[in-house]
Amino acid sequence: MADSPTVFDIVVLGGGSGGYATALRATELGLSVALIEADKVGGTCLHYGCIPTKALLHAAELADSARESERFGVKASLEGIDMAGVHSYKDGVISGLYKGLQGLIKAHGITYVEGYGRLVSADTVEVDGQRYTGRNVVLATGSYARSLPGLEIGGRIMTSDQALTLDHVPSSAIVLGGGVIGSEFASVWKSFGVDVTIIEALPHLVPNEDEALSKAFERAYRKRGIAFSTGVRFQGATQDDAGVHVTLENGKTFDADLLLVAVGRGPRTEGLGYEEQGLRMERGFVLTDERLRTGVGSIYAVGDIVPGLQLAHRGFAQGVFVAEQIAGLEPAPIIESGIPRVTYSEPEVASVGLTEAKAKEIHGADGVETLEYNLAGNGKSKILATTGFVKLVRQKDGPVVGVHMIGARVGELIAEGQLIVNWEAYPEDVASLVHAHPTQNEALGEAFMALAGKPLHAHN
């Protein structure tokens, strides 16, 4: 292998979704890259986020299938959850992907540096006294699980990091935060037989979604027996041998075996030399322009440290964008609202583009048209025994600006929604495309047929 250059085209700090995507794309374009990672390449998503949670959710789905099998004429029963077995399945998935990623890093000729880096000048990162200089620097140090003031993590009070490796199934759990991460853990635990209560300060669960989805999600969780409190803020929590005891600002109390704190993720930027180098920061996040330039030297920032959706695929896209930008390809800036969002719970929630409320803010109350297509009319959803709907938001006489869905497996349908919104398709365009029967995708086709004024199996 050739010796590493003394000055790299790019020095990337952080090997998570954003950082490794930058490195892979940049080397494909012939650039030399040093990728610095303190823990494991793959970052939060692969080791402590997307992949482990989705493995747990799949195990949870199997538990539900066994429990409900009789409804489908299949004689099976759920004997219990073997957490050691669940972890060995989950860890097997992670280690397979981890090996694959390490292979890709090697095959791309990326100089991989193990260690904790710090930005010491506008073009140099220092790791254990060794300096790595780049014509460009990409910061991708990611995020950590936040807590609330006075709420210390430890013992029965945990974040997703500890919850992912829990060696037993608790009998009850309180989930603080009804956003994506909290809702996904609540879903897993309920399927595993845990008594779950979610506490959310905002008026709804999955509060960033279109209100129609949030309300339907709450109905579905209520039906599953997942308890929740919304609209009241958390006040404090204590723990003892018996369990955790949580108090809300209205005086209401809850007790359980454990408390999962899922109140969002903060940027991992402290003590890394960012402020010292003059980067513009806000609440710890690194501010950039739409081309992800920080404005200091040739420093870029990608992923969870940049304000916006904290999602792995946003990190991938930003990494690819920055690599292409540095290589002079002048890629088109990423439109944040065109990034799909999925909550992988049971039921799933998936959306892309504008909510009805946001679309009305932009286009005026009379400038927006919406349509809800109920999954009751969709054969495949009936077969799967799932309920839910597709909600479309279009600019009046204009393109589709939002696609929102709830129901089992709808996360897989968002790919089509994303093409429609990002390509600014008209309902009439999509309505004339043939969707395979019986698929859940067909629900999207039928929703667009209904919005184009020619409904087929619509039961609204």
Shorter beta-carbon distance to ligand FAD: residue 243 or 411: 411
Tell me phi and psi for residue 258, to 5 degrees: -150, 165
User: Checking phi first, is residue 183 left (phi over 0); if not, alpha (psi -120 to 50) or beta?
Assistant: alpha
Q: Which of 26, 45, 38 is nearest to 304 (CA)?
A: 45
Of the candidates 221, 217, 227, 225, which has an alpha carbon nearest to the alpha carbon of residue 252? 227
Which of these, 377, 374, 402, lies nearest to 388 by C-alpha position?
374
By the rule CB under 6 A, 38 interacts with ligand FAD: yes
Min dist. Cβ of residue 146 to ligand FAD (A) = 11
Site for ligand FAD in 295-314 (CB under 6 A): 303-304, 310-313
Q: 144 with 266: CB under 8 angstroms?
A: yes
Chain-centroid distance, C-alpha 185? 13
| C-beta of 132 vs 344, nearer to ligand FAD | 344
Name the minimum Å distance from CB 307 to ligand FAD: 12
Residue 126 CB, shortest distance to ligand FAD, in Å, is 10
Nearest CA to 134 out of 5, 295, 38 is that of 5
Task: Please report, to the nearest 10 degrees, the dihedral formed by the alpha carbons of residues 17, 18, 20, 22 taken in order.
Answer: 150
When the beta carbons of 142 and 427 are compared against ligand FAD, the nearer one is 142
**Quick one: 44 or 111, whose CB is closer to ligand FAD?**
44
Pick the piece of the chain touching ligand FAD (CB under 6 A) from 43-51, 92-100, 171-179, 276-284. Answer: 43-51
Q: In angstroms, give the least distance from the CB of 81 to ligand FAD.
A: 19
From the list 322, 329, 324, the residue with the least C-alpha distance to 305 is 322
Per CB under 6 A, which region of 46-54, 89-97, 193-201, 275-283 contacts ligand FAD?
A: 46-54
**Identified binder of ligand FAD from the candidate list 8, 14, 126, 197, rule CB under 6 A:** 14
Residues 22, 27, 160, 187: which binds ligand FAD (CB under 6 A)? 160
- Residue 135 DSSP SS3: strand
Long-range contacts of 283-288 (CB under 8 A, 24+ apart): 286/139
Looking at residues 254 to 283 of the shown chain, list those that interact with ligand FAD (rule: CB under 6 A): 268, 272
What is the footprint of ligand FAD within residues 125-144 (CB under 6 A)? Answer: 140-143
Q: Which is nearer to ligand FAD, 175 or 312 (CB)?
A: 312
Shortest Å, Cβ 188 to ligand FAD: 11
CB of 392 to ligand FAD, least distance (A): 23
Catalytic pick from 313, 363, 404, 437?
437
Decide whether 162 or 370 has the Cβ nearer to ligand FAD: 162
Distance of CA 77 to the CA centre of its chain: 32
CA distances to 239, 244, 262 from 151, in Å = 11, 12, 12
Question: Could you tell me which stretch among 42-50, 104-112, 242-250, 351-359 binds ligand FAD (CB under 6 A)?
Answer: 42-50
Instruction: Identify whether 47 is a catalytic site residue.
Output: no
- Which residue, 392 or 406, has its beta carbon nearer to ligand FAD? 406
Question: Which residues does residue 140 pair with via DSSP β-bridges, in sequence order?
Answer: none
* Contact criterion met (CB below 8 Å) for 249 and 235: yes
The one among 24, 26, 37, 297 contacting ligand FAD by CB under 6 A: 37
Non-local CB neighbours of 128 within 8 Å, separated by 6+ positions:
115, 116
Contacts with ligand FAD by CB under 6 A lie at 13-19, 36-39, 43-45, 48-50, 53, 116-117, 140-143, 160, 181, 268, 272, 303-304, 310-313, 315, 344
Catalytically active residues are: 437
